Structure 1
């Protein structure tokens, strides 16, 4: 074998090893759902791109949700099912390697499937950043945006968008970058509604157990609070 072919073969093998190692490492860092959340997820319509919690109500907008980084989508099933039972169909998107940054426009597939429905979009942590970027560029039929322990960056600025926005945070969240969160408020419209869950933490916006670097929650019903607050906002602010 010629020398250059040997070098090329070594390089290719090295890349494969690095990619395989990286994939394996990401898998070990992923947060799986609790058993209860997994059981709830089994009630959803499961496809390769999302978990869909349907509703018979055809008058309310659909809700599209971007999970947080390395959090499996099933983790958001408890409050997603609750919204669907209240008339708001929910799509919890699945992401490559559980990273929304790798498929920032996945919501477009949902809109293509339901072209005549209005929609509300939101996300948790990094997922909220990606959701806001999508909302920034897809305003047709957009009825609202919500952030769970998250915020928009400049690419996802909603400052000039005339839609309701909910920013929901938690008192004991030690994962959210507070300085960046405060600075990001300039990218939100003046009528943004800010709410904080007393005693809650970052991981409590899903059901996947403790998260590295997070504060300790002093409440046990954070998922229920998320459900109630989202539903109240949807019923009162989304037209």
Structure 2
């Protein structure tokens, strides 16, 4: 399956922040996971690469020091500056293949569900290696198609699983791309992330179509799936929290 690139300036920017708020427990979990792999010294300069609307950038600044958020979408950057301002966060135009930062200037790079949007992975690996300090770390939170988790809402959209298997890289593809730039895997962890408090909350979010998977689904499938999801949520007698098994790959010079 060949998928078209997603233009976040076209439509995805409109509902991204409202449709993908970060659960408080998830925010705390990710900051602890990143801190376990970051260099011990403080403050750190963190690169939030593919930062989107900046939902992680302010908390990264609070935990580590200063943050540069790089985002190619103008509309997403505008939302980041408006909705996730922080005095130690600077949002800049750029992309993984062309990072507007100096050599060896970054202690920690985070790619939070952004790696699968990178078009030239070899170029991106070289750029990330260039800006990382010698003891710096790269943390990639991604879905990996060879480690696909069970995603509960997929049951209502039959094509979603195949789309995401085509969308996301395998662990070997990521490791191979970065090995050519001198970065080697240090860890591959699976974390349990809460994404909502109930099916009703999930249905309300999915109605906004805030996930790029929807850009690749047929409109009839989306409408039918949303109707079925809302009916399922309406029958929920007590709130059922939804979770996802979330992978984090950590790389360093090796």
Interval of TM-score (by shorter of Structure 1 and Structure 2): 0.3 to 0.5
When normalised by structure 1's length, the TM-score is 0.43
Larger radius of gyration: 1
Which protein, 1 or 2, shows the higher relative CO under an 8 Å CA cutoff with sep ≥ 6?
A: 2
When normalised by structure 2's length, the TM-score is 0.41
Question: When you count strand as a share of all residues, which structure comes out higher?
Answer: 2
